[in-house]
Amino acid sequence: MLFFDNITDDDIIRFLLTASEIGSIFKKGATISAAMGGCQAEIGVSSAMAAGALTERLGGSPRQVLMAAEIAMEHHLGLTCDPIKGLVQIPCIERNTMGAIKAITAAQLAVNSDPSQAKVSLDDVVRTMWNTALDMNTKFKETAEGGLATAVPLGLSEC
């Protein structure tokens, strides 16, 4: 699926700069590390980065860019990091795919919305993500000691 025709180097640079700034907001206000914040920190932040960057490239305003990032992260809050056998095959690959879909959906919502009507700001969701990370039990932070990592048999051949 292509979103744009005739993509230029400038388009790619603007996408990456926007995504980088969104990531920086989360790094400064919370974390981007699953070891500190669970999968909400890695998959949620990357989804927010992609949502904001896609919104900018779709012609969204700066406030719509922030709105898209907020929408994407809001729907990853509390996501634990529980890789089976400590590997990324399950559930990480599927979670990244779902994060990409959430990013596209968040961008579409944001470009068709009025940010002045939003009930939740990006600042609110960054603070909430950090507070959730602080409250999250360590076994759900990239340790493979909780969640699916303990619920799925270790003999699973795909891992």
**Could you give the CA distance from residue 147 to residue 139 in angstroms, rounded to a whole number?**
8
The full set of domain ranges for the chain reads: 9-135
Is 60 exceeded by the pLDDT of residue 158?
A: no
Is 80 exceeded by the pLDDT of residue 121?
A: yes
Amino acid 1: pLDDT: 45
**pTM (two decimals):** 0.93
Beta strand segments in the chain, E: none
Among 72, 75, 95, 73, smallest CA distance to 142 is for: 95
Q: Which helix (H) or strand (E) holds 17?
A: helix 9-29
Residues 89, 39 contacting (CB under 8 angstroms): no
Tens-digit pLDDT profile for residues 28-87: 999 999 999 999 999 999 999 999 999 999 999 999 999 999 999 999 999 999 999 888
